[in-house]
Structure 1
Amino acid sequence: MTSLRTRDIIALGFMTFALFIGAGNIIFPPIVAQQAGEHVWLAAFGFLITAVGLPVITIMALSRVEGSIQILSSPLGKAASLILTIICYLAVGPLFATPRTATVSYEIGFSAYWGDSAQTLFIYSAIYFALVMLVSLYPHKILDTVGYVLSPLKILALLILGISAFLLPTGQIAPAVDHYINRPVSEGFINGYLTMDTLGALVFGIVIINAIRSRGVTNKKLITRYAVWASLISGIGLTLVYISLFKLGMGSHEIATNASNGAIILHAYVQHAFGPFGAIFLAAMIFIACIVTAIGLTCACAGYFEQITKIHYRRWVFILVGFAFVISNLGLTQLIAISVPILSAIYPPAIVVILLSFFWKFFRIPTRVIAPTAAVALLFGLIDAMKAANLSSYLPNELTSLPLSEQNLAWLIPALLIFLLATFRDRLKK
């Protein structure tokens, strides 16, 4: 029976960590920290729930079902499971996450040198996605290319940035602003959505499982064990990175007063900590961080769509990369504006499916419990999505003033009530 060596397990954990850490993960914590001020660690607690806890739990859940979202969501019914799976793959693939890796890496790392014109973004994204395609065409070598080469470079750059955040602080902590004054935990929780790591974990599961299989491991228990180890290693890494980035942003008012986004804070900090070399260091770190995530997403999406269609994996790589290339040239602002409402709708049912997957054996028929709970979570998630899209004027006042509505968690209490009722009904029926 083939098993992984210790160095392979560590490389697998590093690869999983590297797949998660994209530019969005590096940008959001500093701006959250600056705005949360003296409530920074309360906001960080909420952020870590959705940005670390849920992704780690998701990988663990997927390791029990061979990395398949469709099996994980099967209690929803065949049609609903297929729809949820396709939406998740498209959201973290060619529609939002993959194009975002190109636009964010360009705007943070290279726009200062090449300008903000559409032509330079077009040239950069063409080169960027050519590299993504080149690596993604050989998924059986992803542990070698990402786990042993790109991941260590990414981790080294993050380590330098993280240590400097503690050794070279920027200033005093400012008072909290906006929603962080009264509800820092829930505000951090919602900002964790924007990393898209939970949805990313749903599609990265199959990449991690295939990486384990590529080393000749076929035993299901061993595959599950190694995937759990990989998720724990990546969770520890994510937590350390986020803590250091929160520390970096805490005193950033003196170098980036009232920054509109985390990219401005990062630019100001690397100039403060590293001088002229800082801009080059940040550009290299963001580029590696983004391209690793883009490779993982492309491999995962191409592998899934090959399974449900008769189109070969390599053709899907060309299709997905080409589509992401086109979308990336629309610009970062438009991508974020569209993605926030959609994520607000997708996350609630996805969270329900992930968490309840660990309790299948306690239900007589899992569909009786999971399907209605996820449906209610989706319904109220759509209400949050309309609010995020500034369409709340079309909603009755009763729906905009629900418990936890201000925290964008209006789905939580109704989903919990339906879960309890459905569980009771499941126990009564044969």
Structure 2
Amino acid sequence: MGKKQFGTRDLFFTGSLLFGLFFGSGNLIFPVALGQSAGANFWPALFGMLLSAVGLPLLGVCAIALTQSNGVLSLATKVGQHFGRIFTIALYLVIGPLFVLPRLADTAFVISFGTLTTSPWWLLLFSLLFLGSAYWLARRPGKLLDYIGKILNPLFLVLLALLLGAAFINPMGGTSHQPQPQFAQRPISSGFSVGYNTMDLLAALAFGIVIITSLKARGVTKPKYLALTTIKAGVISTGLMAVLYGALTYLGASSVAKFDIQANGALTLALTAHYYFGQWGQVILAAIVIVACLKTAVGLISAFGETFTDLYPQWSYQRFILIATGGALLLANLGLNQLIAYSNPVLMLIYPLAITLVLSSLISTLTQPPHYWSYRLAMLFVLIPAILNGLSNLPASVFSQVSWLHGFTNWNMLLPFADYGLGWLFPAILGLMVGLLLDNFWDKEL
């Protein structure tokens, strides 16, 4: 298939595939909670969230495309061979069998059936069916465009449109209630923090290989056209994400007139679904969440298999996706609260490294070679703040048992923007600037 045969319809479905991979349960829950908390500051808070929840994933897609990388492995190897391998393995273990993948199964269970039963046996059965279905769909990576882009994602959008349509046609209230303190004082930065917590930049790096594989399976192989098509798909997917974030944030803000402010976005969605559809509301919400989590799980399993096959070609793709699914099944049955408590520190450690890698990659496309120091110093400067960021997010139970960890939290808070979770940002920029200067000097010396 050549360039002429890959038309607008194919591009739309590729964008749909990427959106489907991105948009999981957290992307439903966070904007709803944001709307409830922001109230009268709805618009500036939404703007802040879009900067991080849409802007960062789009930058990740662009970094993969513009550097003509096959995925995070080839991108991270620009820092160094050993770093590239270690970072790639860590990233895919975190978003695969160790944390994110089992969390998807748990989240789908808690929101859909958590009000009906807390039995661990039902969780085991559900996670077995859920992850088994994800494994079955991930067996053929070249077919993900059909499974997710053409089937699961349209089904998800239709189900979500029922809920959002009801909220817009018959609003529960306005958006003028008093915002929570942090959104009253700094709505844009607070919204940015909420979007930052979606961690979708990790997904952008992880799913790059899925999109590249899908496009190559349809004959898009020329490097420049492959890069351009990937960026266009990224714009389509993040544009759709932005629209849904706006609608979900409005739903959350308008719900306060009926339900007051809830502990989290999942409770708000459950109450809203019941308000509009009665007993059927739980069924609709369960279907929305299960499909949202399933399509992301399929993408994660496939990306894990593709990447580890590149790392260890002596093992097959089918074996790796079986390992990912089996590991996730074991950990899913620890329970959602346990997973969240112990996954957040690891996510908060690896996320600054991922953003720094993306920034270094994008800047490298705008400057002349060499890029030896700019990649390495940026990553070196951000490493300690990233470790402090991870330690600061350890569970409270750990801090109560290991008192000396409080010192790391205090050090972390000394960094600029640390109260937004961005203490690593200034060191990353500093390392990148020093690295670019050294690269420029080195190039002139040569």
Q: 1:145 to 1:364 in 2, by over 3 A?
A: closer
Report the equivalent of 1:149. Answer: 151
1:105-126 deviation digits (Å, cap 9, x = unpaired) = 111112234x111111101111
User: 1:158, 1:241 within 8 Å by CA — same for their partners in 2?
Assistant: no
Q: 1:311 to 1:40 in 2, by over 3 A?
A: same
Q: 1:353 to 1:396 in 2, by over 3 A?
A: closer
Aligned match for 2:31, one of 25, 29, 32: 29
Q: 1:190 to 1:341 in 2, by over 3 A?
A: farther
TM-score by length of 1: 0.95
Report the equivalent of 1:369. Answer: 374
User: 2:273, 2:282 within 8 Å by CA — same for their partners in 1?
Assistant: yes
Aligned match for 1:418, one of 413, 431, 441: 431
Report the equivalent of 1:378. Answer: 383
Q: Which whole-Å CA distance do the structure 1 matches of 2:288 and 2:421 have between them?
A: 33
Corresponding residue SS for 1:181: helix
Aligned match for 1:274, one of 273, 277, 291: 277
Query: Identity of aligned pairs, percent?
Result: 34
TM-score by length of 2: 0.91
Q: Which whole-Å CA distance do the structure 2 matches of 1:221 and 1:385 have between them?
A: 38
Residue 122 of structure 2 is aligned to residue 109 of structure 1:
no
Corresponding residue SS for 1:217: coil
Q: Which whole-Å CA distance do the structure 2 matches of 1:372 and 1:248 have between them?
A: 44
Shift of residue 17 of structure 1? 0.8
User: 2:376, 2:435 within 8 Å by CA — same for their partners in 1?
Assistant: no
Residue 31 of structure 2 is aligned to residue 7 of structure 1:
no
Q: 1:182 to 1:340 in 2, by over 3 A?
A: farther
User: 1:33, 1:250 within 8 Å by CA — same for their partners in 2?
Assistant: yes
User: 1:51, 1:195 within 8 Å by CA — same for their partners in 2?
Assistant: yes
Backbone CA RMSD of aligned residues: 1.8
Q: Which whole-Å CA distance do the structure 2 matches of 1:217 and 1:418 have between them?
A: 37
Q: 1:184 to 1:386 in 2, by over 3 A?
A: farther
1:9-54 deviation digits (Å, cap 9, x = unpaired) = 1111111111111111101111122122222332222222221111
Residue 226 of structure 2 is aligned to residue 256 of structure 1:
no
How many equivalent residue pairs?
A: 429
Shift of residue 236 of structure 1? 0.9
Which residue identity is paired with 2:437? F
Residue 351 of structure 2 is aligned to residue 342 of structure 1:
no
1:216-275 deviation digits (Å, cap 9, x = unpaired) = 222222211221111111011100110001001113223333311111000011112222
Aligned match for 2:83, one of 80, 83, 87: 80
Report the equivalent of 2:322. Answer: 318
Aligned match for 1:239, one of 233, 239, 242: 242
User: 1:377, 1:411 within 8 Å by CA — same for their partners in 2?
Assistant: yes
Q: 1:217 to 1:152 in 2, by over 3 A?
A: same
Shift of residue 317 of structure 1? 1.3
**1:88-167 mapped onto 2 (5 Å cutoff):** 88-113=91-116, 115-167=117-169
Q: Which sections of structure 2, spanning at least 5 residues, go unmatched?
A: 400-404
User: 1:67, 1:209 within 8 Å by CA — same for their partners in 2?
Assistant: yes
Shift of residue 397 of structure 1? 4.4
Shift of residue 136 of structure 1? 0.9
1:106-156 deviation digits (Å, cap 9, x = unpaired) = 11112234x111111101111111111111111121112222111111122
**1:44-83 mapped onto 2 (5 Å cutoff):** 44-64=46-66, 65-83=68-86
Q: Which whole-Å CA distance do the structure 1 matches of 2:317 and 2:339 have between them?
A: 26
Larger mean CA deviation between 181-190 and 115-124 belongs to: 181-190
Q: Which sections of structure 1, spanning at least 5 residues, go unmatched?
A: none
Which residue identity is paired with 1:410? G
**1:153-232 mapped onto 2 (5 Å cutoff):** 153-172=155-174, 173-232=176-235
Larger mean CA deviation between 169-178 and 377-386 belongs to: 169-178
